[in-house]
Amino acid sequence: MKRLLLLSTALLVGAGLPALTACTAGTESGPPKVAQSGASHEPVTIEFWHGFSADNELKAFDETLAGFQKKFPWITVKPTKAVQDSQILQSVRGGNPPDVALSFTTDSVAEFCKAGIFQDLNPYLKASGIDPAALFPKVIAEYTQYQGKRCVMPMLADAYGLYYNKTLMQGHQPPKTMSELADLAKKLTVKNDKGDIKVAGFVPTSQMYENAPIHTGVMVGGKWTNPDGTSAIGSDPQWKKLMTWQKDLTDWYGYDRLEKFRKSFGDEWSAENPFNTGKVAMAIDGEWRTAMLAADAPDLDYGTAPLPVADDQPQRYGAGYITGTVIGVPRGAKHPEAAWELVKYLTTDTGTLVTLSNAIRNVPSTLPALQSPDLKKDPNFQTFLDVFANPDSTTLPAHVNSVFNQQTLQEAQIKWESGRASDLDALLAEVDKKIDEKLKLTAGG
């Protein structure tokens, strides 16, 4: 489940990542060892840090780790929940990392690989006879490596779509285009006598939970970078189209009223999420919300659909943004061979991935798991499997400044939608300038 908010991941930017030297797994004492069935092993305890925290997630992981322990009785796993990337980074820099670490974001994979935060897993894959190109869908294989170094493995994937409250929709079908979304949002919005929002058809601002540009950019097919790594945001008219659409709908609500309404929401990951409680009729979210709704709002009558697309791009309807959870062996892990066994179990074992997907409702990340007859495919979850399989679905290209680039664009979006910037062309040109200057400082990655 993707849980790290974009602006919070900015802690990784400028945190001295390049100062860490790369450390390739298995090069100091020969090729890595692969566990052999029936062999004698010394008991070992490994630390496993992950970001999951919801009750259903923790229960699923406890059951999964119990299965791992049964298969590898000499390896005891000590899990730590609710860990963020900044903590993983600090542990590596401090020389006391866990043996296995899981991240909810692919945004930092390029920097993780380049700086050696996680060890290169190619030697382990070779020793285990695993071919990533044959095991993983192409988009997943791409976002778990950088410049030939695969320093993390995918462990489940995320796809984004539109959730809609069937009761509040009043018989309307989910919108397929952005103009349909705006029109329906207005029809479904309810205000009180003072003009304050009681129910929003849709909250368009980039500050709304999952409305960061990395997720909404796919609605218009926005391009992030040029082939040389420089910013394409200012020169790509699609970003201007998206931001103009957001601003027009924001102005219809009134920015101050919309912000007052947004700030009244409960925590995104709690039962008080406004979609759960009927305060928002339509919302952008990931596939994991299906499991959270089953736990927190079991009586809510809702549906899911692909994200609406630009009116002049109807052929792209069905596409969405793809990302996922990644897991690896941090630099300096005390028990790398045992750590690899856990990583391999969580990322390549079909039964494990299907069980986790059914429990926490993330998309399985291997081709065999996607095709498993044991995978639960109810209609609301099927939407995300279809988005995941859509050839027009995209992920963010690996870039050493990925987090910085996203943060810079979102800061510009906030200025624009709030009315603190009036010249959109100049604003996007400034985004390009900041991104390109940052790229020069990092020597192009």
Domain extents in the chain: 7-158+322-389, 160-316
Q: pLDDT tens digit string along 59-89?
A: 998 999 999 999 999 999 999 999 988 899 8
- CATH assignment of 7-158+322-389, among 3.40.190.10, 3.40.50.2300, 3.30.450.20, 3.40.50.620: 3.40.190.10
pLDDT digits (tens, 9 = 90+) for 399-438: 889 889 999 999 999 999 999 999 999 999 999 999 999 9
Are 164 and 282 in contact by the 8 Å Cβ rule? The answer is: yes
Q: Are strands 322-328 and 280-286 parallel, antiparallel or unpaired?
A: unpaired
Topology agreement, domain 7-158+322-389 and domain 160-316: yes
Residue 309 to residue 231: CA distance in whole angstroms: 23
The predicted-structure confidence for 348-374, as pLDDT tens digits, reads as follows 999 999 999 999 899 999 999 999 999
pLDDT tens profile 143-157: 888 888 899 999 999
Angle at 102 between CA 289 and CA 324, to 5 degrees: 45
pLDDT at 166: 98
Whole-number pLDDT of residue 427 = 98
Using pLDDT thresholds of 50, 70 and 90, give the confidence band for residue 168: very high
Looking at residue 397, its pLDDT comes to 78
Looking at every residue in the chain, the average pLDDT score rounds to 89
Model confidence at 23, pLDDT cuts 50, 70, 90, reads: very low
Neighbours of 213 (CB within 10 A): 24
Predicted pLDDT at 31 = 55
Element (H, E) at 149: none
Span 374-382, average pLDDT: 94
**Confidence category of residue 17, pLDDT binned at 50, 70, 90:** very low
Q: What number is the average pLDDT over the span 119-132?
A: 94
> What is the dihedral angle through the alpha carbons of 352, 357, 362, 367, rounded to the nearest 10 degrees?
60
On the question of pLDDT at 195 being above 50, the answer is yes
Q: Looking at residues 96-115, what average pLDDT do you find?
A: 89
Q: How far is CA 229 from CA 18, 150, 225, 407, in A?
A: 18, 20, 5, 16
- Residues 7-36: what's their mean pLDDT? 42
Question: Which run of H or E residues covers position 198?
Answer: strand 197-202
Q: How much is the pLDDT for 101?
A: 97
Q: Which helix (H) or strand (E) holds 314?
A: none
At residue 36, the pLDDT reads 54
Quote the pLDDT of residue 34: 61
Percent of the chain whose predicted confidence (pLDDT) is above 90: 74
pLDDT score of 55: 82
CATH number of 160-316: 3.40.190.10
Give the pLDDT band (50/70/90) at residue 201.
very high
Taking only the tens place, the pLDDT of each residue in 244-300 is 999 999 999 999 999 999 999 999 999 999 999 999 999 999 999 998 999 999 999
> Quick one: pLDDT band at residue 39, thresholds 50, 70, 90?
low
Across 31-52, average pLDDT: 77
**pLDDT tens sequence across 301-329:** 999 999 999 999 999 999 999 998 999 99
